[in-house]
Structure 1
Amino acid sequence: MKYGIALFPSKKIQDLVNSYRKRYDPNYALVPPHLTLKSAFEVTDEDVPRITEELRSIAEITPPMKLAIRKVSSFSPVNNVIYLKVEPTEQLLQLHDRLHNGSLNSAPEYSFVPHITIGQKLSDDEHSDVYESLKMLDVKHEETIDRFHLLYQLENGSWTVHETFLLGKDCK
């Protein structure tokens, strides 16, 4: 089964992102706005308990962290993806690294650029038009994130939370 690890921003940011995702992201109905910490990976049912235990350990040593969003950006010309850029804090980078080591060891497909997708799979012209419009948004948002989530993919392609992991040793 496919699993992934993500964190979800506040409802305020999810509402903002979804107001655009409805039109510009074909995955809108499959997963809420999120920041991917570990892309989809295959896990057998027998391995899930071991992985969840490792994720609990990672969460325990990771303090709650600040999530800061300052602007709209794009991965163009590599991909026609428009996103909210999340500041790559040391804590966020460490968490990402921890989720790619140990029994979760894998090389990420792309360099880690913390972001929350607004639109993807756009034509070149649509990407250019939408990006030019959205990059003028004055996005200045900060919040504290105190959890991440192990998600799994259902047969219809949608993602749902398998387990939530609270950050910090006082969050057991």
Structure 2
Amino acid sequence: MPKVRLGVALVMPAPLDREIDTLRRATGDGTLGRVPPHCTLVSPVNVRADRMSDVLALLRSAAAATRPLRVRLGPPTTFLPDNPVLYLPLEEGAAEVRALRDRVFREPLARPHTWPYVPHVTVADEADPQRIAAAQVALSEYRTDVVFDRVHLLQEGPGRVWAPIADFGLRPPAVVGRGGLPVELWVSTVLDPAATEFSWREWQVLGLTELGSPLPPERLAISARRDDEVAGVATGWARAGVAQLASLVVATGDRGQGIGSRLLASFESTAASMSCCRLATRVRVGSQGHGFLHHRGWAEEVRLGDWMDGREFVQLRRDL
């Protein structure tokens, strides 16, 4: 069975990520460009590919039991003489980060300890000791605050480049349909591997005739799960006060049970929380999606003749 190399981290949010990368560049960090600035929760570990669903379930459970972490990073220090690493320690929030780490450091992500766990943000790895000492003096007054609102699962790719493949908001999922068929709605910036696989599989089942060409994952992603299985997804992005709905797909066997309506409602409320005042999307004229959105208050803006694969599409909008 093939294995994937995974890590779990609190990835530095914008705009602080650029500030930390500036420090990394100034101190000669060799991982700059290959690893985003972060606070490690689980160091790189090889996991069998067929355990990915277990990894995702573990991280969803841990994230649901955690709230956003408010952290203060202090002046840089080092692991010398044991390890030539320059890092920013956690002056505040370390206990909460350790608690989250305890929730995620379990099978199949648990691994033998090389060093005791110290929550920190690496500035320079394998650095020259003299450069470390100089940086400690120059940055002796450096402090900054950061709020981590999600935990990321990263995977190592070609060239030893690490990239997020899933993220989990530090809050419980919205549960709708209580008393009937409960569905959990998870809002993230990218579909996790299981939801991505589901999306592509359903696109193929439904065929291009109904839905057109699939769109890539975007910055706003919501997955609906029932009994820990993906039942539907909605993806899109938000920019300049407009949220674009890129795709909304429900499993064939779960249609007609309100999951699509709940995904759409979650997408709309999330867009509103991002200060969007308008929603937009494009669907094929006469498709199920066209009727679905029309009955939920989406109005036609313009028709796009021969817009994709010789088919007529319509641009819809809904004001929030």
Q: Same fold (TM over 0.5)?
A: yes
Paired amino acid for 2:47: V
Query: 2:55 aligned to 39, 48, 51, which one?
Result: 51
Structure-1 residue corresponding to 2:204: none
Aligned to 2:6: 3
- Alignment check: 8 A CA contact 1:38 1:108 kept: no
- The Cα shift of 1:102 comes to 4.3
**1:100–1:107 contact (8 Å) kept in structure 2:** no
Task: Name stretches of at least 5 consecutive residues in structure 1 with no aligned partner.
Answer: none
Q: Report if aligned partners of 2:84, 2:128 keep a CA contact under 8 Å in 1.
A: yes
- The answer to whether the aligner puts 1:28 opposite 2:32 as a matched pair is yes
Q: Which letter does structure 2 place at the counterpart of 1:70?
A: G
Structure 2 residue 71 is the aligned partner of structure 1 residue 71: no
Aligned with 1:81: secondary structure?
strand
Structure 1 SS opposite 2:132: helix
CA separation in 2, counterparts of 1:144 and 1:153? 25
| Greater fraction of residues in strand | 2
What is the distance in 2 between the residues matched to 1:54 and 1:37? 13
Deviation at 1:41, TM superposition (A): 0.4
Supply the distance in 1 between the matched residues of 2:11 and 2:148 (Cα, whole angstroms).
8
Corresponding position of 2:280: none
The equivalences for 1:1-172 within 5 A come to 1-23=4-26, 24-87=28-91, 88-134=93-139, 136-139=140-143, 141-170=144-173, 172=186
What percentage of residue pairs aligned between the two structures are identical? 25
- How far, CA to CA, are the matches of 1:101 and 1:133 in structure 2? 39
Contact 1:6 1:149 in 2 (8 A): yes
Q: CA RMSD in A?
A: 1.8
Structure 2 unmatched runs, 5+: 175-185, 187-320
- Rounded to whole Å, the distance in 1 between the matches of 2:112 and 2:16 is 29
Whether the 8 Å contact between 1:146 and 1:166 is mirrored in structure 2 is yes
In structure 2, C-alpha distance between the alignment counterparts of 1:2 and 1:103, rounded to whole Å: 12
8 Å contact 1:5–1:39 — kept in the other structure?
Answer: yes
Choose 112-121 or 157-166, whichever is displaced more.
112-121
Count of residues paired in the alignment:
170
The CA distance in 2 between the partners of 1:12 and 1:71, in whole Å, is 19
In 2, distance between residues paired with 1:13 and 1:84?
13
For residue 85 of structure 1, report the CA deviation from its aligned partner: 1.2
Q: Is contact 2:34–2:162 with CA below 8 Å preserved after alignment? A: yes
Letter in 1 for 2:98: L
| The structure with more radius of gyration | 2
Q: Is the 8 A contact 1:100 1:108 kept in 2?
A: no
* C-alpha spacing 1:128/1:91, structure 2 compared with 1 (3 Å): closer
Q: Which aligned segments of 4 or more residues in structure 1 are displaced greater than 6 angstroms?
A: none
